[in-house]
Amino acid sequence: MTEESTSMRMPSMIALALITEIREGNIPVGAPLPTERELAERFDASRPTIREALAQMQMRGFLDAGGGRRPRATRPSIQTILESAGEHIRDLLGDAESGAHLEQTRLFIETGAVREAAKRRDRIQIARLQDALDRNEAAIGRPHFAETDIAFHRELVSIVGNPVILTLHDMFVSGLLAQRPPVDDPASYDAVAHGEHRAIFEAVVNGDTAIATDVMERHLARSYQARLTMKKPAIAADKSAK
């Protein structure tokens, strides 16, 4: 093993050693980790190596480094794992093709969610969904329409009562909605989107899973196609310039 390969593996080895101590209870959950200096002395490593090890621990959900305080030991949960994945997912949103793949993933999630919502909705959930729909209508043609769009979809997904699905929505579906491609006539586009939201709402209220699923599929397909073709005009322009 070369000196270079050993150096590259050192952060992972340190992270694993500290994670093992957390798992075995030698470092209690919530307890602060030793300082970088102490860890550097213990593992005979440089400060940058220690920082990389701590970053790996945080990515795996074993370290809470927020709040401007010393990093503390923690244990991974569904929430922290998905939040970590969400950071990587957000990095993909600037790429048109990756964004289109995420839109396709969103289609699978939300068509399933609307089907379940049509089966299990109650009066309180319907009232909240109605309120989100009304706020969405009031925002047609206005800059904050995307926010009300997000709120409607989130309220719909929350009816399912599955924290994993809701967290996935918060991690990247909201980002997709907020970063939708620009359109020539926002008011007309918003009106169409709201009309589809209303059709989805009525199907959920009526407990009609077939119509709810069909409308949601068509609603999301427009967003998917828009993102998939988002960069095509620029590509065509580049070719014409040549």
Token representation of residue 189: 């586009």
Identify whether residues 67 and 158 lie together within a single domain: no
**Model confidence band, residue 72 (pLDDT cutoffs 50, 70, 90):** very high
Identify whether residues 116 and 229 lie together within a single domain: yes
Identify whether residues 89 and 143 lie together within a single domain: yes
CA distances from 124 to 15, 148, 200, 206 (A): 46, 19, 17, 15
pLDDT at position 4 is 42
Domain boundary among the residues 32, 50, 73 is at: 73
Residue 101 belongs to some domain of the structure: yes
Domain boundary among the residues 57, 73, 89 is at: 73
d(CA 121, CA 129): 10
Residue type at position 29: V
pLDDT at position 54 is 94
pLDDT in tens, 190-239: 999 999 999 999 999 999 999 999 999 998 887 667 666 554 444 344 44
Indicate the number of domains in the chain. Answer: 2
pLDDT exceeding 90 applies to what percent of the chain?
Answer: 52
Residue 241 belongs to some domain of the structure: no
> What are the strands, taking DSSP E only, across 26-157?
63-64, 72-73
**Model confidence band, residue 170 (pLDDT cutoffs 50, 70, 90):** confident
Let me know: does 145 contact 129? Beta carbons within 8 Å: no
Identify whether residues 45 and 118 lie together within a single domain: no
Domain holding 52, by residue range, is 3-73
Residue 195 belongs to some domain of the structure: yes
What CATH number has the domain bearing residue 17?
1.10.10.10
Residue 242 belongs to some domain of the structure: no
Mean pLDDT value across the chain = 82
Return the closest-CA partner of residue 99 out of 156, 194, 181.
181
pLDDT at position 230 is 53
What CATH number has the domain bearing residue 167?
1.20.120.530
Q: Check whether 144 has a pLDDT greater than 70.
A: yes
Identify whether residues 105 and 163 lie together within a single domain: yes
Residue 143 belongs to some domain of the structure: yes
Identify whether residues 63 and 85 lie together within a single domain: no
